[in-house]
Homo-oligomer: A and B are copies of this chain.
């Protein structure tokens, strides 16, 4: 058994069963090990940002880490933007990055770079394997590090000779640390704050947006009158009919300030005190009122769901009778394909148990509210603000849950960063329907230009924010990667196309010209 084989055995023993790969020469022994050992599903990506984003999406749905396989420093670099998003999503990911053989590094061959330095800004754990016999233990440590609460990025750098030299065997699974129980004082402080009767919010994140955490949050809100809210962007929200509804803080600062005005107590459970996405001249960075008291019930890495249940008990919040979202049937729209028609068509189309990967940005500002009464589904967002996230996330989510429909809602500007994801969807036959909102502009930047006080954009500035010269043909781009698609510009055609995509297995793309 060589080092690479010991690592693959260790990954499988540790519950890592999917690898999103874009290998090169230095990774060939790892590829050979994947070849010989059954059990690891290998999903090839044609760009590393697809591999890392897919690992993020896989983790968000499965709760388990996937491996990525990346080629030296530049390969890791291409995956960093979506690792940044994955880090903000608290997704466990185990990166395996090949490097030159240990004895070859001193020659500074062309691909040599400081891989550890590149990995550190996005990784909670970075290690370079020192010898083949240590690789298995390194791999077990990487998995444990990725699974450490709340979910982290672990990067193991694998010099080629540590992959090809003889190893002793696999390493056993190492149990990651559990989520720490929240001190009773924190529960008590939160209970006191929520009993005060002053305007208050309960801001939840992570496990507070799913399952028992979300149900407990709903009990607390019902018992106290606190508003139940979440950050602007979240890794995953369980929502739709029959579930406790959560209001998201708006992206636009003035809207967020208006929504939070008057709040006297904010209780945080797996969430941070809300801040503006960007700074704007003359506007605050913090979104809560200055006289609002902030109480941390549970940090993101603590037992958020348990803390919410403890708080519900402390408040004597009833277990039954918690208001949940009603099913709201929406009929598909007709006529022009405006913002309202898009929202209604999507609300009408979301199937039961769907996964929605949302990077619709400006086109989709109304989608979240409009789809509240759809059948139960998961809503995944761009957590780190780095666009080019949802196409890969949808890809990984579909790998994690082949029995579920995945709907990817994507602005055209953002989709261009990682369009190679479509090829992986075609190759793997993934059941993803992608909607590209083709406004043919970085529309958000047209708003932001004025928002930061830069005035009205002139000719050169408009040109740098416009994607209409030439217009992108998304149906051709999809076809080029083996994905069928259609272009639509009316509400009726959009609904038909969406229905066709969701009803038919495999990937499909709808270019909505708006």
Task: List chain A positions with a Cβ less than 8 A from chain B.
Answer: 21, 23-26, 28-29, 31-32, 34-36, 42, 44, 46-47, 49, 73-75, 77-78, 80-81, 84-85, 88, 100-101, 103-104, 107-111, 113-114, 117-118, 120-122, 160-161, 164, 233, 272, 275-279, 281, 285-286, 383-386, 388, 413, 416-417, 419-420, 423, 426-427, 444-445, 448-449, 451-455, 457-461, 463-465, 467, 469-477, 479-482
**Contacts A34-B460, A34-B464, A458-B35; A107 near B74 (Cβ below 8 A):** no
Expressed in whole angstroms, the minimum distance between the Cβ of A4 and any Cβ of chain B is: 9
**Contacts A449-B32, A461-B31, A480-B473; A81 near B77 (Cβ below 8 A):** yes
By a CB distance below 8 angstroms, the chain B residues around A459 are 35
Expressed in whole angstroms, the minimum distance between the Cβ of A451 and any Cβ of chain B is: 8
A24–B469 CA distance with the chains assembled, in angstroms: 19
A78–B473 CA distance with the chains assembled, in angstroms: 23
Residue contact B117 to A160, C-beta cutoff 8 Å: no
By a CB distance below 8 angstroms, the chain B residues around A482 are 470-473
A169–B101 CA distance with the chains assembled, in angstroms: 51
Among A114, A417, A482, max chain B CB count under 10 A is at A417
Residue contact B476 to A480, C-beta cutoff 8 Å: yes
A464–B23 CA distance with the chains assembled, in angstroms: 8
8 pairs, A vs B, C-beta closer than 8 Å: A29-B454, A35-B459, A46-B467, A49-B78, A73-B121, A110-B385, A113-B121, A472-B481
Expressed in whole angstroms, the minimum distance between the Cβ of A129 and any Cβ of chain B is: 15
**Contacts A23-B464, A77-B80, A117-B120; A109 near B275 (Cβ below 8 A):** yes
By a CB distance below 8 angstroms, the chain B residues around A445 are 23-25, 28
A487–B155 CA distance with the chains assembled, in angstroms: 41
**Contacts A80-B80, A286-B107; A46 near B385 (Cβ below 8 A):** no
A386–B57 CA distance with the chains assembled, in angstroms: 26
Expressed in whole angstroms, the minimum distance between the Cβ of A300 and any Cβ of chain B is: 12
Expressed in whole angstroms, the minimum distance between the Cβ of A364 and any Cβ of chain B is: 17
Residue contact A26 to B278, C-beta cutoff 8 Å: yes
Q: Which residue of B lies closest to A165 (CB)?
A: B281
By a CB distance below 8 angstroms, the chain B residues around A101 are 279
A49–B480 CA distance with the chains assembled, in angstroms: 21
**Contacts A47-B416, A118-B118, A458-B35; A104 near B463 (Cβ below 8 A):** no
Expressed in whole angstroms, the minimum distance between the Cβ of A17 and any Cβ of chain B is: 14
By a CB distance below 8 angstroms, the chain B residues around A277 are 25, 109-111
Q: Which residue of B lies closest to A161 (CB)?
A: B279
**Contacts A28-B452, A449-B31; A117 near B109 (Cβ below 8 A):** no
**Contacts A77-B81, A470-B423; A463 near B44 (Cβ below 8 A):** yes
11 further A-B pairs in the complex, CB-CB below 8 A; given A46-B416, A88-B110, A111-B385: A29-B454, A44-B463, A47-B417, A74-B81, A74-B85, A100-B278, A110-B277, A113-B122, A473-B480, A473-B481, A480-B480
By a CB distance below 8 angstroms, the chain B residues around A473 are 479-482
A459–B36 CA distance with the chains assembled, in angstroms: 9
Q: Which residue of B lies closest to A382 (CB)?
A: B110
Residue contact A457 to B384, C-beta cutoff 8 Å: no
By a CB distance below 8 angstroms, the chain B residues around A385 are 74, 109-111
**Contacts A416-B46, A469-B427, A472-B423; A276 near B109 (Cβ below 8 A):** yes
A450–B25 CA distance with the chains assembled, in angstroms: 10
8 shortest interchain CB distances as A-B pairs: A470-B482, A477-B480, A74-B386, A476-B480, A101-B279, A77-B80, A104-B279, A35-B461
